Structure 1
Amino acid sequence: MLTALACLLVAAPIQGDTLPALNACIVEYALSQEGHTVARGECWDLAAAALDLCEAQWDGLYGFGRRYDPKKDPIQPGDILRFEGVTMETRTTDGSERYTFGEHTAIVVVVPAPGRITIAHQNFGPVGRKVSQLNLDLASLTKGRIHFHRPVP
């Protein structure tokens, strides 16, 4: 697990090249759960378990930390995302991809480039209630809102 976390930190540079300890704890937990079902398997359960285990301050509902604007503050691994009525579409020479998220919660685990993220989440797609990862290009957002939360120690 430490190897995966070390690779993550190299792949996900952030301002100052240091990831806050709380964010690192959340990422490590999310990655350790890949392929497993956390609690009831709801998307929210993964974020709740990570925040509780890492002793973050949050309201126990949807206030996962300090909300921020990703146009002003860089997205960091360990941040929590809340999707509301989101559609994301990407067209490529091979076809297109479309993701829809009604109400969904996820954890950012990698930020390979500005506007591109990898999330860990559950209760989505073919893997169902097991934790999996998904690469997203935020520029592909065509509908809905994504709320960005920075965990608070």
Structure 2
Amino acid sequence: MSSHPSENIPLALSTNWFLATPPTFPYPELRAHAPISSATYTWEYIERIDPDPSNLNTHPGVLSQDWTVIGAVQWELDMSITKIRVQWNTSDITNTLRSDIKHLPSSAHGPRGYTRELTREQLLLASQWYAPHILSFARSRLGTTVADGECWSLASAALQHTRGAAVREGHEPPQPSTGRVHGQLVLDWDVSSLVPAAGILQAADVRAGDVLELSDAHFRHIRVLLGGLASGEENVQVGEHTAIVDAVEGEKVSVVEQNARVEREVSVGAYDLGEMVKGRVRVFRPVGGNGTEKMSLNGLLLATDHFVFKLPPGLGVVYSGDWHAANPRETPDPEFQNPPPHTTL
């Protein structure tokens, strides 16, 4: 298998998968190439009339059709997208067949690793899609060890579980954990900022199913003893720790975590930001790779293929969709990479 699914795409033109109505997409060779998260396609034809080479006086000439099939697949590996376009004329399929491939990195990511910010509505939708599966996974593992028992492994495994569940429900899967990043950052608070803890969880709309990251944190809890006659102090220090938010109440975050109070075991815990005297808190919202848009491939397929017809005057046009494709011999798309025609892989 290639190092990335977008490399060495098997076009399998010799199987004529594109000639079926509707086209067979994804065709078997593409399905076998790499795991696909989702796929879609569209197709159309335009009728044309060419002079009859055997009799130039013939009217109206030879009727044929220019066909265009465009399919898009979203790779499970990183939610990037590969688009495949096949074009031909029915009068001579063999000699007019051409194919194009274009790869699009995950639309949630721009140049230099920039991550597109989602709207509040999209973040809420992401929580509705993914949080139930994340929480169900984490709670069902209480008292057990997940993967290597590290705190990060619980969140990573929960997101991996949720990816499969989301696909089964017709949603794009959430991005997997990368280091200590688990989606879009919704809260980044440091005690040294002097911003009070009161209300920050609500202002950031931190929700159950989000992922909490603590860095160099120190919590100090004052306990009142003997009816107020004495007091005790409990100090908890945390270097780097990952936990899954289970509930939010005031300044307190209840969590499901691993390798915390019980070594290398999943347990429940709580962190009160009002008792935090040092350190940093970050909270991530698991989000989809394409901005959390259901059937995002369809919008991409139509939005990135706007071409203009150039037809001889007086010819009718037949559409099978609501988008326009160019005559391949007149308006080539410079965005596509053009392999030689008749590629057989």
The alignment's TM-score, normalised by the length of structure 1, stands at: 0.80
Does 1:57 pair with 2:175? yes
Q: Any conservation in 2 of the 1:86–1:101 contact (CA below 8 Å)?
A: yes
**Cα drift, residue 58 of structure 1:** 3.4
Maintained 8 Å contact 2:212/2:283: yes
Partner of 1:36: 144
User: Counterpart in 2 of 1:147?
Assistant: 282
Aligned residue identity for 2:237: T
Q: Give 1:96 deviation, angstroms.
A: 3.0
* Residue 130 of structure 1: how far off its partner (Å): 0.5
Q: Structure 2: which 5+ residue stretches go unaligned?
A: 1-123, 164-173, 189-199, 226-231, 289-345
CA distance in structure 2 between the partners assigned to 1:47 and 1:92 by the alignment: 32
Task: Provide Cα deviations, 1:59-93, integer angstroms capped at 9, x if missing partner.
Answer: 53222010012733221001101111111111121
Q: How many residues align?
A: 134
Is the Cα contact below 8 Å between 1:58 and 1:152 reproduced in 2? Answer: no
* Equivalent in the alignment of 2:210: 79
Partners of 1:68 and 1:88 in 2: CA distance = 22
- Root-mean-square deviation (CA), in Å? 1.7
Are the structure 2 counterparts of residues 87 and 20 from structure 1 closer, same or farther at C-alpha, using a change threshold of 3 Å? Answer: same
Q: Which amino acid aligns with 1:90?
A: H
What is aligned with 1:116?
252
| 2:155 matches 1:26 | no
Aligned-partner Cα distance in 1 for 2:179–2:219: 25
The residue that corresponds to 1:103 in the other structure is 240
Q: CA deviation at 1:54?
A: 0.4
**Moved >3 Å (runs of 4+):** none
Distance 1:49 1:59 in 2: 9
Structure 1 alignment gaps of length 5 or more? 1-15
Q: 1:25–1:54: 8 Å Cα contact kept in structure 2? A: yes
The percent identity for this pair of structures is 34
Confirm or deny: 8 A CA contact 2:159 2:177 kept in the other structure: no
Structure number with the higher strand fraction is 1
- Cα 1:59–1:34 change in 2 (3 A) is closer
Match of 2:168 in 1: none
| Cα pair 2:186 2:206 within 8 Å, conserved | no
Structure whose residues are more often helix by fraction: 1
Alpha-carbon distance in 2 for matches of 1:92, 1:139: 14
**3-state SS of 1:20 partner:** helix
Greater length-normalized contact order (CA 8 Å, ≥ 6 residues apart): 1
In the superposition, the TM-score normalised over structure 2's length comes to 0.37
Once residues 272 and 154 of structure 2 are traced to their aligned partners in structure 1, the CA distance between those partners, rounded to angstroms, is 22
Residues 43-66 of structure 1: CA distance to partner in whole angstroms, max 9, x if unpaired?
000000001110121353222010
